Structure 1
Amino acid sequence: MKTLLFTCVLLPWLVAAFARKSDDHSQLIPGPLHDRELTGYFSDHLESSRDRRALPLADEPDATPKQEGTEATDLPTCLLCVCLTGSLPYRNIMTLRRIDLTRNMISEIEDGAFSKLIMLEQLSLAENRLVKLPMLPAKLTTFNANNNFLKTKGVKANVFKKMTNLVNLHLANNQLEAVPFIPDSVRILHLQNNNITDVNISTFCRSNDTYYLRPSLSEVRLDGNPVMLSKYPDSFTCMHVLPIGQYR
């Protein structure tokens, strides 16, 4: 059967917790993504290179569901998945604001995986085995795909184009050969330790608009790439800061 439904081992428990905590769905938990925060959403769009069974981690708590009444604030991160062949009734799934799938062994995510998560603001896919990115929710403010195997051909040209709220974009430690399209809203851009060999005047600025400025872009990391940034001085004229990287 081609389409397999992947869901968290703890998802039934999480769904019940969501139902009891429905008032909290409209609020984004402040602060960065953490390993033990709610990941929440797995569907038939995730494929893992790990055996299709749940394997316990030594530092993870017992996955046995707790007794009713357990506080949702005590939820551990659901890092591993189990393959199911049916569908589950997702309640309030569209109100999720943050998903953390860090440090799994996910090798593929279908384009429709996040299509219903219209309120999603923070998404971490860091430290997986992805070679390409799926289509992403337009309201993301933070996206982290550090430490994967992403190449330029696996990142669609328009994947970030409609993300007018995106502030933090982390694509470090991949295999990108070029800088993808970066929305004007981005403040922090991490592209260190890729295979980027050149930049041009359209990478960050606009070749047809010499008056264009990017005041929001306050940090760009290109260190650890083979590109010699001193060869492209005209490529940074619209920026208030120079990218961090190799100049000589």
Structure 2
Amino acid sequence: MMQLRTLIFTSVILPWLLSSAAKDEYMERGILDSTGNDILHNSNADQAAPPKVDELPTCLLCVCLSGSVYCEEVSPEMSTVPALPKETAYLYARFNKITKISNQDFADMATLKRIDLTGNLIAQIDDGAFSKLSNLEELTLAENKLTKLPTLPTKLVSFNANFNRLTTQGVKATAFKKLTRLAYLYLGNNELTAVPQLPESLHVVHLHNNKILTITDETFCKGNTSHYIRTNMNEVRLDGNPIMLSKHPDSFICLQSLPIGWYN
């Protein structure tokens, strides 16, 4: 009987124990390729590496809800405009590190009605970046580093570029002339030395804290007629400019209220 037990241990149990021990050692050491590299452990290390922000789907980085995309203060930092779902109507990408808007960023986004890029680092916008946005009504580029403006969509109702570095050379005199629906124009805290042509549709125009030195009878009114009244415009801000408004009384004769600014 003892001989039978010894034979069973030697032929069955002992090989199983040795095989189990070898498997444990194999798992601890990993899988080696022909050059001696640990394939298993290297593979796990690659999987653990965090993806880059531009490799993640937009709706994992941002909140996507019923045609609105909220990408505010994204972490890790967002330096470019994300790829948007086709049905996006409202984009809020405030307080990120976006530096440039290219022609491709909104090329296929005709559904967009509102874009808010407040508080980024945008210093450059390709001239055609917004040209295909036929339904865009509100565009906010406040608190960036712009020195000039691109061509703007003609259906804009509100445009805000407060707190940039816009110069008169960078804002064409006719930049807003064809925007026949524009009601709210905010260009405060820039470096403008002149007032661009203002469309008849405007209700509010803010030009405070610039470097405007002069205006003419044509800036807000029509100098060749005293019967013209600008009925839409009810708020003009020119405070914080070096111009003394009391020297230009005929420049406001068509307005229903005097501009806010320096008269003394």
* 1:208 positional shift: 2.2
CA contact (8 A) 1:61 1:76 kept: no
* 1:13 positional shift: 2.5
CA contact (8 A) 1:9 1:81 kept: no
1:203 to 219, 232, 255: 219
2:159 to 121, 126, 143: 143
Structure scoring higher RCO (CA < 8 A, sep ≥ 6) equals: 1
Output the CA distance in 2 between the equivalents of 1:160 and 1:104: 23
What does 1:13-162 correspond to in 2, within 5 Å? Answer: 13-14=58-59, 21=66, 24=67, 38=70, 60-62=73-75, 77=93, 79-81=96-98, 93-162=109-178
CA contact (8 A) 1:193 1:224 kept: yes
Taking structure 1 as the reference length, what is the TM-score of the superposition? Answer: 0.69
Query: Quick one: which amino acid aligns to residue 235 of structure 1?
Result: S
Output the CA distance in 2 between the equivalents of 1:170 and 1:88: 24
Query: Quick one: which amino acid aligns to residue 189 of structure 2?
Result: N
Taking structure 2 as the reference length, what is the TM-score of the superposition? Answer: 0.65
Output the CA distance in 1 between the equivalents of 2:105 and 2:245: 51
Question: CA distance change for structure 1 residues 103 and 212 in 2, over 3 Å: closer, same or farther?
Answer: same
* 1:225 positional shift: 0.3
Output the CA distance in 2 between the equivalents of 1:166 and 1:184: 9
CA contact (8 A) 2:133 2:153 kept: yes
Query: Quick one: which amino acid aligns to residue 116 of structure 2?
Result: D
Name the count of aligned residue pairs.
196
* 1:77 positional shift: 2.9
* 1:211 positional shift: 1.8
Q: Secondary structure at the match of 1:204?
A: coil
CA contact (8 A) 1:205 1:235 kept: yes
Deviation per CA, 1:87-130: give whole Å up to 9, x if none: 78976x10100001111111111110001111000001111111
Question: CA distance change for structure 1 residues 125 and 212 in 2, over 3 Å: closer, same or farther?
Answer: same
Larger Rg: 2
Question: CA distance change for structure 1 residues 244 and 187 in 2, over 3 Å: closer, same or farther?
Answer: same
Output the CA distance in 1 between the equivalents of 2:55 and 2:234: 39
Q: Runs of 4 or more off by more than 2 Å in structure 1?
A: 8-15, 17-21, 59-64, 75-83, 87-91
Unaligned runs of 5+ in 1: 1-7, 26-36, 40-58, 65-71
* 1:60 positional shift: 2.8
Unaligned runs of 5+ in 2: 1-52, 78-87
CA contact (8 A) 2:220 2:254 kept: yes
Judge which range, 209-218 or 146-155, deviates more. Answer: 209-218
Q: Secondary structure at the match of 2:169?
A: helix
